[in-house]
Amino acid sequence: MSPNEQDPRIVVLAGDGIGPEIVAAARGVLDAFGSFDYDEQLIGGASIDALGTPLSDDALTACRSSDAVLLGAVGGPKWDTTDPDAPRPEQGLLGLRKGLGLYANLRPVKPLPALIDASPLRRERIEGTDLLVVRELTGGIYFGRKSREPDSALDECVYTAAEVERIAVAAFEAAERRAGGTGTGRVTSVDKANVLETSRLWREVVSGMAERWPAVELDHLLVDNAAMQLVSDPSQFDVIVTENMFGDILSDEAAMITGSLGMLPSASLGDGGPGVFEPVHGSAPDIAGQGAANPLATFLSVAMMLRHGLDRGTDADRVEAAVEAALGGGLRTADLFTGSGGERRVGTAEMTEAVIAAL
C-alpha cells in the first residue's frame, strides 16, 4: 500500500547487525494493521560509515516530527574501540534518547507459558512472574561529565530531584494502571542508598511522593539485593523503578526469566512527543545476515508502539496474542530451542510468517 496523508509516520532506524533483518520482519507485522508512512534513517555504525556520525541532525529531526520511532539495534565489533575520540554507535542511541527527551524506559518481563522451560531458571521459580522495569533513561552516569587522562578516567553521576520525580511518576502511574480496577499495585524503588549520594536523594524524593498514590505500596531495595531477589524470587515484583545504569543491568538479568534476551521489548517515552520502540537485545553481530535472529522482541516492541505510541491498544493485544500463538505451535528460533518434543527450529522468516498468519 502506498502511504496516505493521514497515515502514521514511523521513522525506521534499522541500525547494525541483525537490526535490518528484525526491523524488516516487524514492518511485515505492522503492515497487517493498515498503511504506514515509513521513513528510513541511519543510526549507529551504519550512520558512522555513511556520514561519519552515529546520529545525524537530519535523522534526529525526522524522528522529532514522526508519530513513533522503530529501532533495531546498534553496535558491532567493527566500531568497537577504547579510543575516547572515536565515534561509537551507542552514542547514536544515547543522542536519540536525550534528543527526544525519552526519560522513561519501560521494559515488561512476563514469561510466556510456551517458553517457561526455555528459561535457565526452574519453572517453579519463574511461574507467576509479571513485572515491569521502569528505567530512568536520560540522566545519571550515562550522561554525566566524562574525562580521560592517561592513567585515570572520570564518569560523573548526577541526578536532580526533578529527574527523579518524573520517572517516579511514570512508575506510580504504571503500577496503578497494571492493577486495573483494584489500584493495589506495588512499586519497588531500587538504589544504592547505603553508598551513593544520588541514591539517597532518589530514595528521599520517591518516598515523599508515595502519599499521592495511597493505594500503591512502595518499598525500597538496594541494587545488589534486588539483583539477587530477581533470580531467587522474581514473582514478588510488580513495578521496579530505578536509575539509568542499574536499570540497564537489572533488565538484562530480568530478561533471562523469559527464556531469552530475544524476547524482551521496550518503550522509551517522554512527555508528549514520539517514543522509541526497540528490542532490549543488541545487534548480535555473530548471527547477523544468517536469517536466524529471533524477531519476537521486535514484534512485541511493535505491540508497545501500537499501545503507547499510536493509541491502538486492541491492535497491540492482537500482536501479543499472535506471538503466543506462534510459540504455542512449537516454533522456536535457535535462542529458544531446547530440543524437547513438539518444538520446531525455525529462522526469522518462518517465525515472521507464522506470526502474521496468526494475526
> Which residues are catalytic, by number?
142, 192, 224, 248, 252
List of E strands, the chain: 9-15, 37-41, 68-73, 104-109, 131-136, 146-149, 152-155, 186-191, 217-222, 239-242, 265-269, 276-279, 331-332, 344-345
From the list ligand IPM, Mg ion, none, partner contacted by residue 353 (C-beta under 5 to 8 A by kind): none
Using CB distances below 5 to 8 A depending on partner kind, what does residue 19 bind out of ligand IPM, Mg ion, none? none
90 binds, among Mg ion, ligand IPM, none (CB under 5 to 8 A by kind): ligand IPM
Q: How far is the CB of 88 from Mg ion (least distance, A)?
A: 14
Q: Binding mask 42-81 vs ligand IPM (x if CB under 6 A, - otherwise)?
A: ---------------------------------x------
Alpha helices in 11-140 (DSSP H): 19-31, 45-51, 57-64, 89-99, 123-126
Q: Report the residue number, 283 or 352, with the smaller CB distance to ligand IPM.
A: 283
What lies within 8 Å, CB to CB, of 218 at 6+ separation is 186, 187, 188, 189, 206, 207, 210
**End-to-end Cα separation, the chain, in angstroms:** 18
Q: Which is nearer to ligand IPM, 185 or 265 (CB)?
A: 265
Nearer to ligand IPM, 188 or 283 (CB): 283
Minimum gap (Å) between residue 184 Cβ and ligand IPM: 30
Between CA 145 and CA 157 the distance in angstroms is: 8
Residue nearest to ligand IPM (CB): 90
90 contributes a contact to ligand IPM by CB under 6 A: yes
Q: For residue 248, count other CB atoms closer than 10 A to its CB.
A: 18
Based on the shown chain and the rule CB under 6 A, indicate whether residue 93 belongs to the binding site for ligand IPM. Answer: yes
- State the nearest-atom distance from the C-beta of 23 to Mg ion, in Å: 18
Count how many residues are written for the chain.
359
By CB under 5 A, which span of 121-129, 228-236, 243-251, 288-296 interacts with Mg ion? 243-251
Q: Does 39 bind ligand IPM (CB under 6 A)?
A: no
Residue 262 binding result from Mg ion, ligand IPM, none, given CB thresholds of 5 to 8 Å by partner type: none
Residue 18 falls in which region: left (phi positive, over 0), alpha (psi -120 to 50) or beta: alpha
Q: Report the residue number, 230 or 310, with the smaller CB distance to Mg ion.
A: 230
Q: Which is nearer to ligand IPM, 248 or 320 (CB)?
A: 248
Cell of 244: 539509568
Extract the C-alpha cell encoding 169. 511518576
Q: Is 136 in the site for ligand IPM (CB under 6 A)?
A: no
In the list 238, 248, 320, 335, the residue contacting ligand IPM (rule: CB under 6 A) is 248
Q: What are phi and psi of 154, to 5 degrees?
A: -135, 135
Q: Are 73 and 278 in contact (CB under 8 A)?
A: yes
Cα separation of 349 and 13, whole Å? 20
Do 23 and 298 contact (CB within 8 A), yes or no? yes
Helix (H) or strand (E) holding 113, with range, is none
How many Cα neighbours within 13 Å face the side chain of 192?
13
CB of 357 to ligand IPM, least distance (A): 31
Q: How far is the CB of 354 from ligand IPM (least distance, A)?
A: 27
Number of residues that bind ligand IPM (CB under 6 A): 5
Backbone angles phi, psi at 347, to 5 degrees: -95, -175
- Minimum distance of ligand IPM from residue 150's CB (angstroms): 25
Site for Mg ion contains 248 (CB under 5 A)? yes
* Nearest residue (CB) to Mg ion, 19 versus 185: 19
Closest separation in Å from C-beta 97 to ligand IPM: 8
Q: Which residues form the interface with ligand IPM (CB under 6 A)?
A: 75, 90, 93, 248, 280
Q: Which residues form the interface with Mg ion (CB under 5 A)?
A: 248
